[in-house]
């Protein structure tokens, strides 16, 4: 169960990490990075000028390299690779520094393909997947409407059975559809008879399908975003994807896959920005020396790297766990159940990835100074292009509600042993932890107990209405996410030889986790009308945690290590 990391105080469970990538994975990553930096990056300006032909040509090159068919089973013309390869592709392609192209390709291999792979009939898979993998069929995902964004269940598009019962009549409008201008195939969510949420496969060339003008966007100017209108579009009976009335299950669970892939893309983009920023700061002279020598610059770089390392840890831990549970041979019902197990983690990856990239890009622009505001420098475009990542795949506000909502559900159903964990009160380090890291293990267990105590007080105060107290749910989601990052980073570092820079990383992540708990505890407990002695007790417990408080020294030492070993650290 994906939420069990919160209640596991006893033992160190092995997790998948970047260090466990196979030689084949690394070879693929090298190939993709060469394509990204040699074929896509030099053409970034042309792509961002909305050069449709160039974008489609590069997608064709991607297909020839196997980037579009990696996760498609061989029986449907694909390469049949694992999900880890898909994540690695998303991350590594981001080194192109061209978010427009990355998003276009990402939709093709993500939400534009996965609904068919996981929920399509055998005939639908055989018909569409070979073309998607070959780049001859472009896909788009049509969920959002003018009046239904985060409230996806409120869609108005409808499909009505034709009088002769030989098909459907589809009517409605979808908005902000990525790849709409490129797409040959639309995955459309509509309500049968205005009631039963259902997914449909709609070919672009059908009469009544109209793609609107390209939206004038803040960023991602080289990607296609447009509305799609369906006016009395006649569809064959077998155009439904999955079962009638179960479209929302497809929509929400496919978004889980989209979220972790977006987080992986953000991870790669963070590393690309940091590479460029380090290069610039080493070359830019002010007051007679490179600005990279200034401690204020180094602190920014250290802060960025702490979050990037934490993001890397949760991206690969999550995909490692998903790899074991989610397979293309599962029935739709089994797939929905398996996907929902990871709703919390994929939302965490999406939120933390998009917000880490926001920080890294902002610091990158600031370190570049005036040049960071000039389009010639890739950091300017990345800063603008990736603002939408906090909106894509469900806004970060919605994803925070998902995190707390699922943890609340697991607790109320007694699938998450919150009460027993609090009763155990174990603050000693978990079994299997290196003695070098035992102090971090003890601190983590203490923080888990404090986080669960805050959650218990909020649940006691609000009950199942906690989801309506959005501000409480948001703070709890941030706490749970930071615990997941600390937990994942500790387990990752525990699995290998422990380097000095990794101890510093853990020190800074531990301080970040403690400071977040301290910042949220008093207002949360006060709002929830907790006893005054509990407020002071938790505050005292946070203050009593034995952590190295010398943040400045740690940040400067970490920055020095990053500068000396940046190729290895940002690989």
Residue 301 sits in a domain whose CATH number is 1.20.140.10
Cα–Cα distances (Å) from 405 to 3, 147, 247, 468, in that order, read 11, 24, 21, 10
What residues in the chain have per-residue pLDDT under 50?
none
N- to C-terminal Cα separation, the chain: 30
Residue at 96 is within a domain: yes
3 state SS of 442? helix
Whether residues 383 and 410 share a domain: the answer is no
- Domain-located, residue 10: no
With respect to residue 12, please indicate whether it lies within any of the assigned structural domains.
no
351/402 same-domain check: no
Same domain (yes/no): 167, 274: no
Q: Do 161 and 193 touch, CB atoms closer than 8 A?
A: yes
Pairwise CA distance, residues 324 & 194, whole Å? 38
Give residue 475's pLDDT: 97
Structure tokens at 75: 């029986």
**Catalytic position from the list 393, 457, 555, 557:** 393
| Separation between Cα atoms, residue 104 and residue 224, nearest integer Å | 8
**Domains contained in the chain, number:** 4
Q: What is the CA radius of gyration of the chain?
A: 24
Tell me the residue length of the chain.
571
DSSP string, 236-279: EGGGEES-TT-HHHHHHHHHHHHHHHHHHHHHHHHHHHHHHHHH
Q: Are residues 338 and 458 in the same domain?
A: no
393 is catalytic: yes
DSSP 8-state assignment for residue 152: G
CATH number of the domain that 159 lies in? 2.40.110.10
| Domain finish residue from 348, 373, 396 | 396
User: Are residues 485 and 522 both part of a single domain?
Assistant: yes
CA distances in angstroms from 221 to 94, 135, 493, 534, listed in the order given: 16, 21, 40, 52
For residue 1, what pLDDT is reported? 58
CATH code for the domain in which residue 115 is found: 1.10.540.10
Domain finish residue from 104, 138, 172:
138
Per the listing, tokens 């996907």 go with: 339
Give bridge partners of residue 158 from the DSSP assignment: 171, 191
If DSSP codes are grouped into helix, strand and coil, which group holds residue 103? helix
Q: What is the pLDDT of residue 340?
A: 86
- Host H or E run for residue 158: strand 158-161
| Residue 176 domain boundaries | 141-241
164, 134: one domain: no
Does a structural domain hold residue 559?
Answer: yes
In a domain, 5, yes or no: no
Give me 457's structure tokens: 């007080």
For the whole model, what pTM was predicted?
0.96
Domain membership flag for residue 538: yes
Task: Please identify, among 241, 276, 299, the residue that sits at the C-terminal boundary of a domain.
Answer: 241
Do residues 250 and 192 lie in contact, with contact meaning Cβ atoms separated by under 8 Å? no
Do 389 and 407 lie in one domain? The reply is no
Together in a domain, 480 and 423: yes
Same domain, 230 and 281: no
- Whether 4 is in a domain gets the answer no
Residues 156 and 132 in one domain: no
Instruction: Write out pLDDT tens, residues 36-56.
Output: 999 999 999 999 999 999 999
How many Å apart are CA 167 and CA 159, to the nearest integer? 10
d(CA 12, CA 432): 6
- 497 and 409: one domain? yes
Are 296 and 313 found together in one domain?
yes
pLDDT digits (tens, 9 = 90+) for 366-383: 999 999 999 989 999 999
In-domain check, residue 424: yes
């Amino acid at each position: 169960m994906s939420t069990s990391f919160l209640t596991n105080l006893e033992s160190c469970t092995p997790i998948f990490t970047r260090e466990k990538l196979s030689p084949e994975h690394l070879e693929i990553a090298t190939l993709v990075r060469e394509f990204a930096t040699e074929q896509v990056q030099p053409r970034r300006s042309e792509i961002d000028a909305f050069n449709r032909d160039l974008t489609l040509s590069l997608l064709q090159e991607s297909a020839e390299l196997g980037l579009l068919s990696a996760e498609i089973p061989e029986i449907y013309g694909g390469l049949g690779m694992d999900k880890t390869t898909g994540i690695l592709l998303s991350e590594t392609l981001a080194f192109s520094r061209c978010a427009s192209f990355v998003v276009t390709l990402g939709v093709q291999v993500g939400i534009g393909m996965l609904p068919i792979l996981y929920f399509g009939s055998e005939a639908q898979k055989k018909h569409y997947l070979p073309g998607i993998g070959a780049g001859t069929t472009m896909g788009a995902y049509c969920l959002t409407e003018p009046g239904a964004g985060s409230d996806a269940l409120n869609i108005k598009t409808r499909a009505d059975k034709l009088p002769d019962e030989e098909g459907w009549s589809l009517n409605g409008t979808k908005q902000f559809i990525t790849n709409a201008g490129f797409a040959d195939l639309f995955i459309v969510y509509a309500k049968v008879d205005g009631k039963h949420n259902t997914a449909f496969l709609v070919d672009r060339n059908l009469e009544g399908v109209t793609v609107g003008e390209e939206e004038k966007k803040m960023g991602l100017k080289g990607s296609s975003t447009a509305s799609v209108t369906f006016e009395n579009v006649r569809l064959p009976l077998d155009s439904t994807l999955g079962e009638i009335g179960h479209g929302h299950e497809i929509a929400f669970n496919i978004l889980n896959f989209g979220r972790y892939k977006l987080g992986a893309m953000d991870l790669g983009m963070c590393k690309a920005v940091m590479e460029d920023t380090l290069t610039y700061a080493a070359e830019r002279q002010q007051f007679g020396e490179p600005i990279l020598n200034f401690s204020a610059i180094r602190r920014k770089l250290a802060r960025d790297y702490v979050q990037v390392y934490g993001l890397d840890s949760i991206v690969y831990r999550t995909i490692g766990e998903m790899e074991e549970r989610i397979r293309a041979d599962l029935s739709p019902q089994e797939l929905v159940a398996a996907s929902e197990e990871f709703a919390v983690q994929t939302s965490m990856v999406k939120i933390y990835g998009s917000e880490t990239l926001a920080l890294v890009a902002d610091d990158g622009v600031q370190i570049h100074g005036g040049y960071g505001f000039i389009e010639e420098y890739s950091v300017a475009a990345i800063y603008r292009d990736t603002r939408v990542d906090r909106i894509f795949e469900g806004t970060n506000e919605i994803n925070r509600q998902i995190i707390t909502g699922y943890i609340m559900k697991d607790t109320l159903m007694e699938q998450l042993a919150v009460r027993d964990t609090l009763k155990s009160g174990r603050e000693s380090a978990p079994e299997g932890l290196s003695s070098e890291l035992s102090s971090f293990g003890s601190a983590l267990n203490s923080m888990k107990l404090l986080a669960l105590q805050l959650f218990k007080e909020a649940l006691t105060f609000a009950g199942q209405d906690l989801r309506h107290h959005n501000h409480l749910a948001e703070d709890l989601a941030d706490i749970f996410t930071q615990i997941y990052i600390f937990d994942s980073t500790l387990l990752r570092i525990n699995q290998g030889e422990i380097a000095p820079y990794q101890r510093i990383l853990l020190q800074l992540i531990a301080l970040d986790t403690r400071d977040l708990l301290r910042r949220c505890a008093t207002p949360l407990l006060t709002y929830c009308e907790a006893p005054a002695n509990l407020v002071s007790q938790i505050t005292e417990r946070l203050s009593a945690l034995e952590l190295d408080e010398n943040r400045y020294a740690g940040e400067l030492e970490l920055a020095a290590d990053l500068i000396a070993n940046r190729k290895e650290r940002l690989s």
